[in-house]
C-alpha cells in the first residue's frame, strides 16, 4: 500500500497531482468510440503531466468539440464531444497545444458499429449460467503466468490467496466441455486488470477499467472468447464493479478531484446493512455509512454523485459491450451504489443495447429486501431502478432450509414454498438469477453435508424452478468446502493445469460418483435446454403436505411435475390432490431415468426429487 495514498492510521489523503513520473500525454479514454450511438455525447478523460495547461483542438466532419473541463488536478482534462448522426468512421488527430512546447497529439478513431444479431443478445430464463473464476479454472497459456511490471509476480498454487495462473485461453480450451454439460451462458468474475500487490486474483479491485488483466490475456483475446462462445451457441456475462476500485489504479493514485471517491476523516468501512437504504426510519448517518463507507482498505469507494465519474463508468461499460459483444452484466455489490445513478446507468446502457440483460448482486435476507432493488418498486424511493433482476439469495437459503431443516409452519420445505409465494413482490421474478452457491460462499455439496441425494434434489430444484439458473464451476463434479477460514471454495478445477494428478474434464479422470453427479446435472441441463416449459412456462405450486412439495412447470406443449420429499423416510404419495394440473394424465416419463411410471401414486425416497414429464394418453 502506497504511503502517498494512506496515512498509517488509515486516513485517506487527497492524491491530486502526485504522479510526477507520468508522461505528458499518458492516456485518453475511451481509447476509441463508434458512430451511430443513440447518445451523441462523449466525454473523454485525458491524463498526462500538467495536461490542463494545454489547449485542445480537433477538426473532423460530424464531430464537434463542445467543452473542455479543467478540474482540481492539473493532470486531467475532461473533453466533451458531440458525434452527429452524419459522422462517418475514420481517424482524426486530437491536438494538445501549448505555446513554446511541442504539440501533443492523439489519433482518435471512430468505428462502425457491429450490428450482428448474436451480439448483446441478453441472458434470459432460457439459459443456464456457469460461473467461472478465470484464475481458478484452467491455465491455457503458461507464458502469461508472470507479467513484467505487475505488482504481484508469478503463481503459487499452494496458497489460496495467490495467483494460480488460470486464464482466458484455458476457458476457451474447455468450451466443448461446458457445451456438452448443457451450459448456455458463461459468467466470469471480473477479467479486467487488478494490479494490486496481493490477493486480487478475484477481480473485484479494478485498476484499469479498459484493459483485460494481462495474466488472463488481452482485450483482443477477450473479444475472441466472446465470439467463440457465440459461435458455439453460448452467451457471455461480464461482471461489473461500480461501487469500488482498486487503490493502485491511476484514477485513485492520481485522483482527478477530491470528490472522485468518498472521503472520510479516517478509514471508514461500510456497515454492510442494506436495510439502511430502504428503512423509512433510518438514521442518515447509518445510510451514509452503508453507501459511502469503503468495502476494504484496498477498495476505494467511488463517489457516484460525481458527474465525471458517472460518465467514466457508464461509457466504459457501453464500450465493453460494443467492443466485445457481451450479452449481459452482473452488477457486483448492487445495494452499496448510489440509487439515482444506478437507475440512470441502467437506462443509458439499455438505450444503446435494448436486449442486454442486467442482474444485480443483492445477497440480502428477505424477498422484500431483494424486491426493493428491482424495477417497478418505487415506494419510499421516488425512482425506478430499472434493474430487471437480482441474484436470488433468498431462494438459495430457502432451498437450504428445504433440504436441511425440519419442516414447520414456515420452516423447512415450507420456507421454499413461502419464498415462491412472495413472487408478487417482483415486476418479473423470472428475471431473477437462482443459484445454490458461488465464489463468495460455501459450496453447495458441503452445505448439505455431502449427502448425494440432497445434492441431486438441489440440482433438480435449480433446473426446474422459475428464474435464470446459475451453477458455480465444479459443482457438477462434487467440488466441496466451506468459505471460511481458508477460501477453499475457490480451489482450482482439477485437470485445468498441465501436470495435474487428476483431469476432471475427462470421464476417465473422474470417480464413479463424480461421473454420476455430472451425468445427472448434464441430463437435467440439456433437458431444460430443450424444454420451453421449464424455461418460460408457467408455474403452479401446492402447499407442502407431509413434507412433500409438489409444483408444476407447464405450457401448451408440455407439463413437468416436480415432487420433493423433505422427510428422512420414503413416502408413497397419492396424486389426486394435483388432478387439476395433472389434467387426466396417467403416465409420466422420469426425466433422469427415461422410465415410464404410473402418475396416480409416486414412491419418493427420503430427501429425493422426481422430475416427471406427463405423457398424453396417446403416447402410453
Distance between CA atoms of residues 35 and 22, nearest Å: 31
CB 537 within 8 A of CB 504: no
Q: Of all helices (H) and strands (E), which one includes residue 349?
A: helix 339-352
Q: Kindly write down the DSSP assignment for every residue of 123-169, as one continuous string.
A: --TT--EEEE-HHHH--S-GGGSS-TT-SS-S--TTSTTS-----HH
CB 476 within 8 A of CB 522: yes
387 CB burial (10 A radius; 0-12, 13-18, 19+): buried
Ramachandran category for residue 199: left, alpha or beta (phi over 0 → left; psi -120 to 50 → alpha): left
Q: Which of 135, 254, 332, 514 is catalytic?
A: 332
CB 325 within 8 A of CB 352: no
Q: Kindly write down the DSSP assignment for every residue of 509-531, as one continuous string.
A: GS-HHHHHHHHHHHHHHHHHHT-
Lookup: cell for 65: 468539440
Please list, residue by residue across 610-620, b when 16 or more beta carbons sit within 10 angstroms of its beta carbon and e when fewer do: bbbbbbeeeee
CB 234 within 8 A of CB 209: no
**In the block, which residue shows the cell 454439460?**
181
Distance between CA atoms of residues 192 and 202, nearest Å: 10
Q: Which of 248, 361, 437, 476 is catalytic?
A: 361
Which residue from 84, 86, 126, 149 is spatially nearest to 534, judged by alpha carbons?
126
Lookup: cell for 95: 491536438
Lookup: cell for 614: 406427463
Would you call 361 a catalytic residue per the annotation?
A: yes
Distance between CA atoms of residues 157 and 452, nearest Å: 29
Would you call 332 a catalytic residue per the annotation?
A: yes
Lookup: cell for 612: 416427471
CB 474 within 8 A of CB 434: no
Distance between CA atoms of residues 414 and 547, nearest Å: 8
Alpha-carbon Rg for the chain in angstroms: 26
- Between the alpha carbon of residue 615 and those of residues 286, 524, 528, 586, 587, the distances in Å are 56, 18, 17, 7, 6
Q: Kindly write down the DSSP assignment for every residue of 375-405, as one continuous string.
A: TT--TTTSS-----EEB-HHHHHHHHHHHHS
Distance between CA atoms of residues 522 and 402, nearest Å: 23
**C-alpha 578: how far from chain center:** 38
Distance between CA atoms of residues 462 and 128, nearest Å: 10
Kindly give the residue spans of alpha helices, DSSP state H, lying in 388-451.
393-404, 413-421, 444-447
Task: Tell how strand 104-111 and strand 32-34 pair up.
Answer: parallel
Strand locations in 524-608 (E): 538-541, 548-554, 559-565, 571-574, 587-590, 596-598, 601-604
CB 614 within 8 A of CB 540: no
- Catalytic residue IDs: 332, 361
Amino acid at each position: 500500500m502506497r504511503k502517498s495514498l494512506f496515512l498509517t492510521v488509515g486516513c485517506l489523503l487527497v492524491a491530486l497531482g502526485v504522479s510526477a513520473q507520468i508522461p505528458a500525454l499518458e492516456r485518453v479514454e475511451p481509447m476509441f468510440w463508434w458512430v451511430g450511438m443513440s447518445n451523441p455525447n462523449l466525454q473523454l478523460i485525458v491524463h498526462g503531466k500538467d495536461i490542463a495547461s494545454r489547449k485542445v483542438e480537433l477538426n473532423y466532419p460530424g464531430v464537434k468539440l463542445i467543452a473542455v473541463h479543467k478540474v482540481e488536478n492539473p493532470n486531467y482534462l475532461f473533453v466533451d464531444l458531440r458525434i452527429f448522426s452524419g459522422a462517418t468512421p475514420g481517424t482524426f488527430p486530437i491536438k494538445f497545444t501549448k505555446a513554446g512546447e511541442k504539440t501533443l497529439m492523439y489519433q482518435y478513431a471512430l468505428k462502425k458499429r457491429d450490428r450482428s444479431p448474436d451480439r448483446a443478445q441478453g441472458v434470459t430464463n432460457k439459459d443456464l449460467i456457469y460461473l467461472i473464476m478465470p484464475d481458478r479454472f484452467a491455465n491455457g497459456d503458461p507464458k502469461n503466468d508472470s507479467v513484467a511490471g505487475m505488482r504481484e509476480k508469478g503463481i503459487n498454487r499452494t496458497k489460496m490467496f495467490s495467483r494460480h495462473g488460470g486464464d482466458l485461453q484455458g476457458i476457451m480450451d474447455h468450451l466443448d466441455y461446458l457445451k456438452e454439460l448443457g451450459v448456455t451462458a458463461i459468467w466470469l468474475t471480473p477479467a479486467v486488470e487488478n494490479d494490486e500487490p496481493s490477493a486480487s486474483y478475484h477481480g473485484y479491485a479494478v485498476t484499469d477499467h479498459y484493459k483485460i488483466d494481462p495474466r488472463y490475456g488481452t482485450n483482443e483475446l477477450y473479444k475472441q472468447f466472446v465470439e467463440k462462445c457465440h459461435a458455439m451457441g453460448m452467451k457471455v456475462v461480464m461482471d461489473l464493479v461500480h461501487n469500488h476500485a482498486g487503490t493502485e489504479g491511476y484514477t485513485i493514485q492520481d485522483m482527478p478531484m477530491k470528490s472522485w471517491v468518498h472521503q472520510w476523516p479516517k478509514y471508514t468501512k461500510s456497515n454492510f446493512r442494506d436495510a439502511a437504504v430502504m428503512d423509512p426510519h433510518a438514521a442518515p448517518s447509518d445510510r451514509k455509512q452503508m453507501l459511502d463507507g469503503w468495502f476494504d482498505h484496498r477498495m476505494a469507494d467511488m463517489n457516484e454523485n460525481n458527474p465525471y465519474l458517472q460518465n467514466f463508468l457508464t461509457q466504459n461499460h457501453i464500450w465493453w459491450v460494443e467492443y466485445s459483444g457481451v450479452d449481459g452484466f452482473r452488477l457486483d455489490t448492487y445495494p452499496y451504489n448510489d440509487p439515482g445513478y444506478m437507475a440512470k446507468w441502467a437506462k443509458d446502457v439499455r438505450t444503446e443495447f435494448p436486449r442486454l440483460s442486467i442482474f444485480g448482486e443483492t445477497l440480502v435476507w428477505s424477498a422484500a429486501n431483494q424486491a426493493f432493488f428491482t424495477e417497478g418498486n418505487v415506494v419510499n424511493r421516488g425512482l425506478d431502478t430499472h434493474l430487471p433482476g437480482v441474484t436470488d439469495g433468498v431462494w438459495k437459503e430457502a432451498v437450504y432450509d428445504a433440504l436441511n431443516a425440519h419442516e414447520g409452519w414456515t420452516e423447512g420445505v415450507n420456507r421454499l414454498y413461502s419464498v415462491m409465494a412472495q413472487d408478487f413482490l417482483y415486476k418479473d421474478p423470472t428475471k431473477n438469477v437462482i443459484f445454490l452457491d458461488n465464489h463468495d460462499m460455501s459450496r453447495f455439496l458441503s452445505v448439505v453435508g455431502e449427502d448425494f441425494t440432497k445434492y441431486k434434489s438441489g440440482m433438480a430444484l435449480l433446473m426446474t424452478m422459475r428464474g435464470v439458473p446459475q451453477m458455480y464451476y465444479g459443482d457438477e463434479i462434487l467440488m466441496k468446502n466451506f468459505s471460511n477460514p481458508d477460501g477453499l471454495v475457490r480451489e482450482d478445477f482439477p485437470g485445468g493445469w498441465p501436470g495435474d494428478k487428476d483431469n476432471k474434464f475427462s470421464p476417465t479422470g473422474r470417480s464413479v460418483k463424480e461421473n454420476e453427479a455430472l451425468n445427472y446435472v448434464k441430463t437435467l441441463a440439456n433437458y431444460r435446454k430443450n424444454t420451453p416449459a421449464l424455461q418460460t412456462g408457467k408455474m403452479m405450486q401446492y402447499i407442502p403436505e407431509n413434507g412433500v412439495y409438489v409444483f408444476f412447470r407447464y405450457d401448451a406443449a408440455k407439463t413437468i411435475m416436480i415432487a420433493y420429499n423433505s422427510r428422512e423416510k420414503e413416502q408413497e404419495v397419492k396424486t389426486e390432490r394435483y388432478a387439476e394440473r395433472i389434467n387426466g394424465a396417467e403416465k409420466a416419463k422420469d426425466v433422469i431415468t427415461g422410465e415410464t411410471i404410473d402418475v396416480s401414486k409416486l414412491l419418493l425416497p427420503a430427501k429425493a426429487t422426481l422430475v416427471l414429464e406427463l405423457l398424453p394418453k396417446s403416447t402410453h
